[in-house]
Structure 1
Amino acid sequence: MKSIKGKTVLITGASSGIGKAFAFEAAKKGANLILTARSSQQLNDIATRITRQYNNKVQVIVADLSHKEDIAKFNGVKTDLLVNNAGIGKWANFLDEASYEEMLELNINALVKLTQLVLPGMLERGEGGVINIASTGAFQPCPYVAVYCASKAFVLSFSEALYGEYYHRGVTVTAVCPGNTATNFQVAAKADTKGMSVDTAEYVAQKGLEAFFKGKSYVITGRVNYLQSFLPRLLPRKSMINVVSGMMKKRVATN
C-alpha cells in the first residue's frame, strides 16, 4: 500500500501520545479514521479537531482493549490499515508489581486478536496492512522492565513473522520500534528518563508510516536508537544483560 488517501485507518490507544500523532498524520494524508481508547472525551476532542482541520470522516469507539469483551466491538469493522498502538508498561522490580495480566492482555492478546479480525478482509481485497508499535526494548532482555520489554519482543517477532506470511499477498505488517518518546508513558510507567535522548510522538508516527509505505517489516525510529539497537548483536547475551541491568538499576527504585 503506497497511499492511505480515502482509506480507513483504525488506531488503538488514539487518545494521546503516539496513537494521537498517528491519527493526525493519517488524517493529513487523507485517511478516514476509526479511533479507539478508554477516554471518550479525549477521543471526541481529537475527532472534532481532525474533522474541522481535514474534513475527514472520524468514528470513535470507546473500548478498554485489556477486556476481551470490548474487543468484540470490532467484529465486522472494515479497515485498510490497523495501527496497534495501545499498550502499557512499568519500570520496576519484577516482584514490585502485583499483576501483569492487564499489560499482557493489552500489549499482546488484544494486538493479536485485532490483527486476526482485520486480516481476512485485507487479504480478500488484496491490499492493506498492520502497524504494530513495539520498542527498542524488544531487541534485548531488560532487567527492571522485564515484562514490558518481553511483550514488545513478542510484538516485533510476531510482526516480522506475519510480514513473511502476507507481504506477497499485498498485506504489509510493520513493527515500529521507538525509543524514549515524549508521551504520558513515562508518568504511567514510573520511568526515569532524565538525560536520555527523546523523540516526539509526531516524529515516530511520521517515520512509522514512511516505513510502512516503503514495505518494511520493521523500523527503529531515531538515529541514536538505531545505533543502540546494534549493541545486542555485538555483545554476548550475558554481557548485554549486565549492561542493561546496570543502566536500569540506577533509574528504578529497588528493594
Structure 2
Amino acid sequence: MALIEVVFILVGVCCVFFCGRRLARVLMVLFPKFWYPLPENFFTSMGKWAVITGGSEGIGRAYAQQLAGHGLNVVLISRSRGKLETAAQDIELTTGRKVTVISADFTKDDIYTSIEESISSLDVAILVNNVGILPSQIPCKLLETTNLEEKILQVINCNLKSMAKMCRLILPGMVERGRGIILNVSSGMAIVPFPLYTLYGATKVFIERFAQCLQAEYKSKGILVQTVSPFGVSTSMMGYQKEDLMTFSAEAFVKSSLTYLKAGDHSYGSVRHTILGSFFQNIPTWVLRHEAFHQSFKEFVKKRVGA
C-alpha cells in the first residue's frame, strides 16, 4: 500500500474518532438522565443532611427545596433570619423534612466557630457552597466600584473564604465516612476573562480551580466534588431579570443542574447554558476587551434589571 494511502486512512480514522467523540459529548449533554443516572436513593445514601450557604432565597433555596424533596434534612445558612425562617417553614411544609437555620453574614470573619458548633454532629450528605455577592449589580470598571476597599474585602470573604472554610468544616466528616458531595456554585463569567465583572469573575475562577483540585485529591475517598457555572438565573443578585431562552428561574435551573451531578467536576447545569458557554469560549478575546463592547454590555444589563 502506498504511503499516501496509509496517510489518508489514518486521517480518516482520526476524523471519525474526533467526530464520534464530539457526538457522544453532545448526546451526554442532551440526555443526562440516560448517561448519568442517579439511583432514587442516591442523596440519602450519602447521608442525612444537606448544608446550603446562601440558602434563604434564589439558587440556594431552590437547592434546599430539591434536596429536601429527595429525602434530606436541610441546614440553611444565610444573613437574614427572617428570610431563613420563611424558607424553612415553606420547605418543611412541602416536603416534611426537618430544616435548621443558622444566621451568619459571610462577608464577616468571625462566624465559623458558631457554624461549626451547630453542624459538627450532623451526617452531611451534601454541602452546597452557593453564597456569593456582586460588588455592583450594574457592571463597571474596578475603580468605578462604590466603596471599593470595603467591597474587595466583602467579596473575598463571601465568595472565596466561605467556600474554603465550609469545606474545611465538613470535608473531614465526609472523608471519615467515605461518602459525600460538595457542590460549588460558580458562574459562566469564569469561562473567559469578563471585563466589568473583574473582581467577581476572578473569585469564580478560584472556585472552579479549587473544586477541580479538591476532586482530584478526594475522589478516591468516595467524595464527589463538582462546580456548576450558570449564566442567566433570575435571582435578587441579578435584579430578577425576566426569564427567557437563556435565563432560568432558580427552581428550573437547580432541577436541571442536579441531573448533571455525575457528569464530571464541572457542569453548566443545562443544555442551553452549555451552548452559551461554548459560544463565549469561541469569541475572540479582543471583542471582550473592546471599549464599545463594555458600554453596550453595561446598557444591556441596565435594561435587563430595570435600572
TM exceeds 0.5? yes
Quickly say closer, same or farther: Cα 1:244–1:19, change in 2 above 3 A: farther
Gaps of 5+ in 2: 1-37, 303-307
Between the aligned partners of 1:86 and 1:244, the Cα distance in structure 2 is 29
Q: 1:51 is matched with which residue?
A: 92
- Aligned residue identity for 1:28: G
Higher relative contact order (CA 8 A, sep 6+): 1
In the TM superposition, what is the alpha-carbon distance from 1:240 to its structure 2 partner?
Answer: 4.5
Identity %: 28
- Is 1:186 the counterpart of 2:234 in the alignment? no
Between the aligned partners of 1:172 and 1:102, the Cα distance in structure 2 is 29
Partner residue of 1:225 out of 265, 273, 290: 273
- Aligned residue identity for 2:266: Y
- Spell out the pairing of 1:1-255 with structure 2 (5 A cutoff): 3-5=42-44, 7-76=48-117, 77=119, 78=122, 79-89=124-134, 90=136, 91-97=139-145, 98-99=147-148, 100-187=152-239, 197-212=246-261, 214=262, 216-242=264-290, 245=294, 247-251=296-300
Once the two structures are superposed, residues 28-61 of structure 1 have per-residue CA deviations (whole angstroms, 9 ceiling, x without a partner) of 1010011111111111111112222222111111
Q: Is contact 2:234–2:241 with CA below 8 Å preserved after alignment?
A: no
Once the two structures are superposed, residues 115-168 of structure 1 have per-residue CA deviations (whole angstroms, 9 ceiling, x without a partner) of 111111100100001101001101011111111111111111111111111112
Between the aligned partners of 1:14 and 1:64, the Cα distance in structure 2 is 12
Note the aligned Cα RMSD (angstroms). 2.4
Quickly say closer, same or farther: Cα 1:54–1:165, change in 2 above 3 A: same
In the TM superposition, what is the alpha-carbon distance from 1:231 to its structure 2 partner?
Answer: 3.6
Between the aligned partners of 2:188 and 2:163, the Cα distance in structure 1 is 18
Between the aligned partners of 1:206 and 1:114, the Cα distance in structure 2 is 23
Instruction: Give the alignment's TM-score, normalised by structure 1.
Output: 0.88
Q: Is contact 2:59–2:254 with CA below 8 Å preserved after alignment?
A: yes
- Aligned residue identity for 1:66: T
Normalized per residue, the structure richer in helix is 2
Once the two structures are superposed, residues 176-223 of structure 1 have per-residue CA deviations (whole angstroms, 9 ceiling, x without a partner) of 111111110123xxx9889883111012212332222x2521110333
Quickly say closer, same or farther: Cα 1:236–1:215, change in 2 above 3 A: closer
- Aligned residue identity for 2:174: M
In the TM superposition, what is the alpha-carbon distance from 1:71 to its structure 2 partner?
Answer: 2.0
Q: Which moved more, 1:203-212 or 1:14-23?
A: 203-212
Quickly say closer, same or farther: Cα 1:4–1:245, change in 2 above 3 A: same
Quickly say closer, same or farther: Cα 1:208–1:73, change in 2 above 3 A: farther
Task: Tell me which structure has the larger Cα radius of gyration.
Answer: 2
SS in 2 for 1:185: coil
Gaps of 5+ in 1: none
- Aligned residue identity for 2:90: R
- Aligned residue identity for 2:128: V
Alignment length (residue pairs): 249
